[in-house]
Amino acid sequence: MDRPGRNGGTLRSFQKGQSGNRAGRPKGSRNRSTVALELLQMSQSIVNPLTGERDLLSVEEIITILQIREAFKGNTRAYVALMDSAYGKPDRAVDYGNPVINLSSASNPSLLIREQLGERIHLLQTRIVESQPLLDSSRHDVEVDKPQSCQDQNRTGSRG
């Protein structure tokens, strides 16, 4: 049955059991997620920057290692993505215990604020200096060889 539609067109109701897209999605076609999972499971032989040894790693493992390297370089988005992936997204805010500075009892409030900020800056600088050797040791180049699919890997049965 035809009925009026927008812009002067007509709308048709479908017959029972009849779809609007007769060609539709082809049977046996794969979902995008299936294709992505297959690509992530492909393997490559690389020098693992964490161990320094040549190893056969999946694309997913290589991406994770590269994400870790970015986090070590100071990329906070990479760090957050890793933490969310490993531990799940936090369901509540974290209280870092920043003390409230009571300025009403201070004889010189601006001096008190400068002292508090100076202490916090000194603490941050100390933490950065302490973590520098860890950051320096994480800077390795990744050597990538020709990709090897999981099927090829299963046929050969080789690692590394």
Residue 151 has pLDDT above 70, yes or no: no
Q: Which residue has the higher pLDDT, 17 or 126?
A: 126
The DSSP-derived string for the chain is -EEE-GGG-EEEPPPTT--S-SS-SPTTPPPHHHHHHHHHT-EEEEE-TTT-SEEEEEHHHHHHHHHHHHHHTT-HHHHHHHHHHHH---SS-----PPPP--TT-SSHHHHHHHHHHHHHHHHHHHHHHHHHHHHHT--PPPB---B-HHHHHHH----
- Tokens (6 digits) for 85: 């992936």
Residue 147's pLDDT band, with cuts at 50, 70 and 90, is: low
Mean pLDDT of the chain: 75
Do 42 and 58 contact (CB within 8 A), yes or no? yes
